[in-house]
Amino acid sequence: MNKFTLPLIAFVALVALLAVGLNLNPREVPSPLIGKPTPDFKVPQLHNPDATFSPKEMEGKVWLLNVWASWCVSCREEHPVIVEYAKKGLLPPVVGLNYKDKRDDGLRWLARFGDPYLLSAFDADGRVGIDYGVYGVPESYLIDKAGVIRFKQIGPITPAVMENKILPLVKELNQ
Amino acid sequence: MIPELGHFALLLSLFVALAMGILPLVGAQRNHPQWMAFARPVTALSFLLIAFSFACLTWAFYTNDFTVQYVAAHSNSQMPTMYRLSAVWGGHEGSLLLWVLMLAGWAGAVALFSRQLPDAMVARVLGVLGLVLFGLLAFVLFTSNPFERLLPGAEEGRSLNPLLQDPGLVYHPPLLYMGYVGMSVAFAFAIAALIAGQLDAAWARWSRPWTTVAWLFLTLGIALGSWWAYYELGWGGWWFWDPVENASFMPWLVATALIHSLAVTEKRGSFKNWTVLLAIAAFSLSLLGTFLVRSGVLTSVHAFATDPSRGLFILILLAIVVGSSLMLFAARAPKVSLGGAFALVSRETFLLINNVLLVVACGAVLLGTLYPLIVDAFGLGKISVGPPYFNTVFVPIMLPLLVLVAIGPVARWKHADLKVILVKLWPAAAVALLAGIALPLLAGEWQAYVALALALVGWMVAALVLQTIDRMKAGTPTASWWGMQLAHFGLAAFVVGVAMVSNYQEERDVRMTPGETVTVGGHSFKFLGVRDAAGPNYNASVGSFELTRDGKVMRMLHPEKRDYGPGSMPMTEAAIDASLARDVYVSLGEPLDADKENGAWAVRVYFKPFVDWIWGGCLLMALGGLLAASDRRYRLKVKAQAATANIANKAGAAA
């Protein structure tokens, strides 16, 4: 050990930092909505235009709000994951928010790829999306029994996100 | 078929590079002359293979071969030929291929211009370059193959980011890469000397011209990039402290320190360990820059497509290359002799301060660049570090350097007399005082910052004149001495540009309807209207402005707003009237009432005094480097051992 190893030590620290940095995403900005109550809304349901849905109806339950659209390519990637986990009964109730879509397209899409949702709310003009700060579809919000947003996923839910983030949090919130 | 040939040549070059990295090094270690002699031809072969591969990719671009994925993603048949060809390095894969081509080219140049060096040294240097080349080739082939096919092929390519469809793209990346990659030669010389255990004056003399040439390319590359951002981005700035700019600036700072420290090692045999460390650092920072740009760990205006698996590969490469070099350094450095002693007041001391300042400045830039990453890694949030940090920290570190530029060259090696220096330089101090008081008043309002900067410029320029008079008395100076003077003069010009533009620039964002006039910095712009025009692959709105000064019409200016079709951002092409004393700059913003004929537009006008001195100064620095590298003593045959003693003895006289 001499003073000439100092550059090496400094470099090892730098590499460690960069290795950590590689696993972080500089574009992943935490949502200001986390820890806040869900913004309220009341919109028609997708399957039944005469019935409405409001987050208030879900009070007392842990639930997942999943924003999707038939025109969204990444949703196609995400959808099978939700369908599979819902089929296994691992998920809490999932409410879809059909975002800036046409009713027929949305219905056809669910018929084709499967409908894992308790129901889908129909946000034709994207008003609800604005309140929730949706800036890319798909996005998902995990909401606790008191109606507080606990987790937000921007982009598709992958099996890894499901296993490592959502399911453990659901278990914790249900206790 | 041709892309496959290119791919195959690249694959072949991987094995050739492996041979180049192993045989000569082993040969030099075991003293096998045949194995060492292998170094030059194998280097030439690797260069030819990579050049062939590069030509194949260029051909695919030229012929619009959209069955090659990389071509389809970065070019289309509507693009002008010049941009189709430079689109070869418009994306990740191609720019890396350019990187390895440059590396092989530098190695080839070493093989060609090293007749005067001992065989073992050449073998080691080329061997080290071979190992680096192998690592980068593996990176290209395994993570970033530009020859990947797209089957069935695309009908039409996706076109290049319009920002990159500019002559800037043709020259900026190649020059910058020449500089970046050129640092590998100084690095290879340093590692070769460490392996051989011969850190002597001869080694320093051999690496000097290579380092200087790499440095001058880096200088030009950075300056050109800055100029490109100035006129193409339409923001009117010339430096943004963006992580990618910093990535090229950090090696430049260290390389500048290295050039000065090599001078001490060559002339006086001192600072050996420090010089080696700088050579390693300069190349490491080039690799780090590649990592930062290509891995996407930092957000940047330059962040094109990024991919974490690539980031991991470069990080591992970085760890191996730099880690092993630093281990070698740690093992060998304690045995290196200290070289000539020097007094507190001596040229060595001044150069040491120069080095410390440059390295501290580089450290400050590195810290600012990585700080968002550090904060994020510790889970403390997302932040970004902007120009306020860099300007506050960087500028004060640089100011003492400008004072020293005048003193260093007149101080004697080993032991200098402070009184003699004062006697030589007092007229410069007087000029500085005068410049600080008077010049800002001539330029406009007197401001303390400008006064300080111009006083320093006066000090530097006057000292340059005094130094030249002093030096001429002692006989005709060498080319490298003139190179130093020219580069220091370039630095003074650069400071003028920065000081003037930072403090006296004027800019206005205005809403203009045709017929209106706006005035900045004594120049009036009359807005005549906007018409539509079609370019080769875009539609443009072309504005017309009449530029007048003191009631006289000077010329018309035509800024453009270009639309490159769906899926791309509209581009702003500023119109600039440039002259030595000032630029005036108009750029078109958005149409404010698009539905109306002859509606209003958002217009941005700038008055930028002396802004061209910034790039002019860089050009002079680069020319100074060229002059210094052309010094004929670098081409003389030197016998390694004998030279050491010789040079050390002659050092005082030569200085």
**Which pLDDT belongs to residue B650?**
41
Rounded mean pLDDT, B312-318: 87
Q: Which residue has the higher pLDDT, B260 or B77?
A: B260
pLDDT tens digits, B192-216: 999 998 888 889 999 999 999 999 9
Q: What is chain B's alpha carbon radius of gyration, rounded to the nearest angstrom?
A: 27
Q: Is residue A53 within a helix (H) or strand (E), and if so which, with residue range?
A: strand A52-53
- Cα(B492)–Cα(B613) distance, rounded to whole angstroms? 9
Nearest in space to B326 (alpha carbons), one of A17, A1, A13, A6: A6
pLDDT tens digits, B598-630: 788 888 888 999 999 999 999 999 999 999 999
- A136 at B interface, C-beta within 8 A: no
Q: Which residue has the higher pLDDT, B590 or B205?
A: B205
- A160 at B interface, C-beta within 8 A: no
**Which pLDDT belongs to residue B640?**
43
For residue B306, pLDDT over 60 is answered with: no
**Which pLDDT belongs to residue B465?**
95
For B147, phi then psi, to 5°, come to: -95, 5
Q: Which residue has the higher pLDDT, A136 or B649?
A: A136
**Which pLDDT belongs to residue A26?**
57
Rounded mean pLDDT, B80-109: 91
**Which pLDDT belongs to residue B646?**
42
Q: Is residue B511 within a helix (H) or strand (E), and if so which, with residue range?
A: strand B506-512
For residue B58, pLDDT over 70 is answered with: yes
Tokens of B363: 């450290």
In this structure, of B106-120, B296-310, B376-390, the range with the lowest mean pLDDT score is: B296-310
Using CB atoms, which residue from A15, A20, A27 is nearest to B318?
Answer: A15
Which residues of chain A, if any, have pLDDT below 50? none
Q: Is residue B4 within a helix (H) or strand (E), and if so which, with residue range?
A: helix B2-30
**Which pLDDT belongs to residue B382?**
66
Interface of B with A (CB under 8 A): 273, 277, 280-281, 284, 291, 295-299, 308, 311-312, 315, 318-319, 322-323, 326-327, 329-330, 333-334, 370, 372-374, 376-377, 382
* Helix ranges, B382-447 (H): 387-407, 418-443
DSSP for B304-331 reads -S--HHHHHHHHHHHHHHHHHHHHHHHH
pTM tops 0.90, yes or no? no
User: b/e for B259-285, b at 16 or more Cβ within 10 A?
Assistant: bbbbbbbbbbbbbbbbbbbbbbbbbbb
For residue B548, pLDDT over 70 is answered with: yes
The proportion of chain B whose per-residue pLDDT surpasses 90, expressed as a percent, equals: 49
Q: What residues of B are in contact with residue A23 (Cβ under 8 Å)? A: 308
Nearest residue on chain B to A6, alpha-carbon basis: B330
Across all residues in chain B, what is the average pLDDT? 87
Subunit contact A8:B373, Cβ cutoff 8 A: no
Using CB atoms, which residue from A15, A19, A26 is nearest to B376?
Answer: A26
For residue B301, pLDDT over 90 is answered with: no
Residues A52 and A44 sit within 8 Å (Cβ to Cβ): yes
Subunit contact A22:B370, Cβ cutoff 8 A: no
In this structure, of A155-169, B9-23, B136-150, B242-256, the range with the lowest mean pLDDT score is: A155-169
**Which pLDDT belongs to residue A45?**
92
Subunit contact B297:A26, Cβ cutoff 8 A: yes
Residues B439 and B458 sit within 8 Å (Cβ to Cβ): yes
pLDDT tens digits, B351-407: 999 999 999 999 999 999 888 888 777 777 666 677 788 888 999 999 999 999 999
Please identify which residue in the block is written with the tokens 């580069």. B487
pLDDT tens digits, B414-469: 888 889 999 989 999 999 999 999 888 887 788 888 999 999 999 999 999 999 99
Residues B633 and B646 sit within 8 Å (Cβ to Cβ): no
Rounded mean pLDDT, B483-492: 96
Rounded mean pLDDT, B548-559: 89
Using CB atoms, which residue from B281, B323, B334 is nearest to A2?
Answer: B334
pLDDT tens digits, B72-84: 888 888 888 888 8
CA angle B553, B559, B564 (to 5 degrees): 160
pLDDT tens digits, B632-648: 888 776 544 444 444 44
Subunit contact A17:B318, Cβ cutoff 8 A: no
Nearest residue on chain B to A7, alpha-carbon basis: B326
Chain B: give the shortest CA distance to residue A4, in Å. Answer: 5
A57, HSE (Cβ side, Cα atoms, 13 Å): 14
**Which pLDDT belongs to residue B446?**
86
**Which pLDDT belongs to residue B599?**
81
Q: Which residue has the higher pLDDT, B159 or B625?
A: B625
Subunit contact A8:B327, Cβ cutoff 8 A: yes
Subunit contact A24:B297, Cβ cutoff 8 A: yes
Q: What residues of B are in contact with residue A15 (Cβ under 8 Å)? A: 315, 318-319, 323
- A26 at B interface, C-beta within 8 A: yes
**Which pLDDT belongs to residue B568?**
62
- For residue B29, CA distances in Å to B25, B26, B121, B124, B159 come to 6, 5, 11, 9, 51
For residue B303, pLDDT over 70 is answered with: no
- Cα(B68)–Cα(B157) distance, rounded to whole angstroms? 10
- A1 at B interface, C-beta within 8 A: no
Subunit contact B297:A19, Cβ cutoff 8 A: no
